[in-house]
Amino acid sequence: MTEHRFADLVAEAAAASVAGWDFSWLDGRATEERPPWSYARLVGARMAKVSAALDLDTGGGEVLAEVPQAPPLLVATEAWPPNVEVARRTLRRLGATVVRAGTEPVLPFRDGSFDLVTSRHPVVTWWDEIARLLRPGGTYLSQQIGPGTLRELSEAILGPLPAPDTRHPGQAVAAARTAGLTVVRLEEATLRTVFHDIGAVVWFLRKVVWTVPGFDVDRYRPQLERLDGRIRAEGAFVAHARRFLIEAARPA
């Protein structure tokens, strides 16, 4: 692969849209193993049994859109403005209301409004607010990013990093209990993630911004060139994503 080819791949990825939470741009260019618990299936099963549900940090609504049967009241929140309109279009067929949320842990809903609160890969979990919004006997179901996820990719750009001190499942369990919730399920998984070209890496880093905070192609071009050489030499770059599933209930 020539230097010109490297430049083409990077330019293509830098120009591609990263709106919403759809990763289809990576089809054929990167893969990630799926967790064994099938989060979308779990959410669909729960949604069919409740009368009111809330999905936090819905992104573009892509995961929630897989629900086969929506409850009579379905609300989703999203903080990033470009995603709000994407989610409204995506979730229209479900009759869902999409609310733009702020970055503070206060949501515009009454106490005990929902039987079910869900969230896939929340940036921050507002446990006290979730407990407030749940009805007695209601549950919170969330797939979250674990500690040191894709650390190999972060270090390929940033160099050696200290051991992660956040996003540990034990911290989530403790926070849930402090908020008055009972943790009824906790599972963890390490998932092999493979990038087949440098364009896939650039697009991913633009979209999943916490992997390399402040990522910029020009700023990190030398590191990207080295990583491109490694991908060409080895056929792919392999990292490992970490996920955990947590389900917590408000006592009846």
Q: Return the amino acid letter for 1.
A: M
Torsion angle (degrees, nearest 10) of CA 121, 241, 160, 174: 50
Cα–Cα distance measured from residue 116 to residue 135, given in angstroms and rounded to the nearest whole number: 8
The model carries a pTM of 0.89
Q: What is the pLDDT of residue 102?
A: 80
Q: What is the pLDDT of residue 1?
A: 43
Q: What is the pLDDT of residue 106?
A: 84
Cα–Cα distance measured from residue 154 to residue 148, given in angstroms and rounded to the nearest whole number: 9
Per residue of the chain (252 residues), give pLDDT as tens: 445 699 999 999 999 999 877 899 999 999 999 999 999 999 999 999 999 999 999 999 999 999 999 999 999 999 988 899 999 999 999 999 999 998 777 899 999 999 999 999 998 999 999 999 999 999 999 999 999 999 999 999 999 999 999 999 999 999 999 999 999 999 999 999 999 999 999 999 999 999 999 999 999 999 999 999 999 999 999 999 999 999 999 999
Domains of the chain, CATH where assigned: 3-249 (3.40.50.150)
SS3 per-residue string spanning the chain:
CCHHHHHHHHHHHHHCCCCCCCCHHHCCCEEECCCCCCHHHHHHHHHCCCCEEEEECCCCCCCHHHCCCCCCEEEEEECCHHHHHHHHHHCHHHCCEEEECCCCCCCCCCCCCEEEEEEECCCCCCHHHHHHHEEEEEEEEEEEECCCCCHHHHHHHHCCCCCCCCCCHHHHHHHHHHCCCEEEEEEEEEEEEEECCHHHHHHHHHHCCCCCCCCCCCCCHHHHHHHHHHHHHHCCEEEEEEEEEEEEECCC
Q: What is the pLDDT of residue 2?
A: 47
Q: What is the pLDDT of residue 3?
A: 55
